[in-house]
Amino acid sequence: MTTAQPLDVQPTPLALLLLGREADPKSERGVECPGDLPAPSAPDLVERARAAKEALGDKVFVLGHHYQRDEVIQFADVTGDSFKLAREAAARPGSEYIVFCGVHFMAESADILTADSQQVVLPDLAAGCSMADMATAEQVAECWDVLTDAGVAGSTVPVSYMNSSADIKAFTGRHGGTICTSSNAKRALDWAFGQGGPDTRVLFLPDQHLGRNTAVRDMGLSLDDCVVYNPHKPGGGLTAEELRAAKMILWRGHCSVHGRFSLESVRDVRERIPGVNVLVHPECKHEVVSAADQVGSTEHIIRTLENAPAGSKWAIGTELNLVRRLANRFAAEDKEVVFLDKTVCFCSTMNRIDLPHLVWALESLVDGKVVNRIQVEPETEKYAKLALERMLALP
Q: Does 181 bind ligand 13P (CB under 6 A)?
A: yes
Report the distance separating Cα 253 and Cα 230, nearest Å: 9
Chain residues 138-177 in contact with ligand SF4, contact rule CB under 6 A: 163
State which of residues 111, 133, 283, 354 lies at the interface with ligand 13P (CB under 6 A): 283
Angle between helices 166-174 and 378-392 (to 10 degrees): 70
Cβ neighbours around 333 below 10 Å, total? 13
Q: Does 108 bind ligand 13P (CB under 6 A)?
A: no
State which of residues 85, 113, 315, 347 lies at the interface with ligand SF4 (CB under 6 A): 347
Contact letters (x/-) for ligand 13P, 325-364, by CB under 6 A? ----------------------------------------
Cβ neighbours around 138 below 10 Å, total? 11
Q: Is the CB of residue 374 less than 8 Å from the CB of residue 104?
A: yes
- One-letter amino acid at 74 equals Q
Q: Does 319 bind ligand SF4 (CB under 6 A)?
A: yes
Q: Does 129 bind ligand SF4 (CB under 6 A)?
A: yes
Query: Which residues touch 83 (CB under 8 Å, ≥6 apart)?
Result: 162, 181, 182, 183, 184, 297, 299
CB of 66 to ligand 13P, least distance (A): 6
Chain residues 209-268 in contact with ligand 13P, contact rule CB under 6 A: 255
Q: Does 81 bind ligand 13P (CB under 6 A)?
A: yes
Which of 317, 10, 390 lies closest to 169 in space, CA to CA? 390
Residue 321's binding partner among ligand SF4, ligand 13P, none (Cβ under 5 to 8 angstroms by kind) is none
H runs (alpha helix) in 4-136: 13-16, 45-56, 70-73, 82-90, 104-113
DSSP of 54-69, one letter per residue? HHHGGGEEEEEETTS-
CB of 231 to ligand 13P, least distance (A): 20
Report the distance separating Cα 225 and Cα 247, nearest Å: 5
The site for ligand SF4, by CB under 6 A, has a size of 12
Which of the ranges 24-32, 39-47, 75-83, 370-378 carries the binding residues for ligand 13P, by CB under 6 A? Answer: 75-83
CB of 120 to ligand SF4, least distance (A): 17
Which residues contribute to the site for ligand 13P (CB under 6 A)?
A: 66, 81-83, 163, 181-182, 255, 283, 297-298
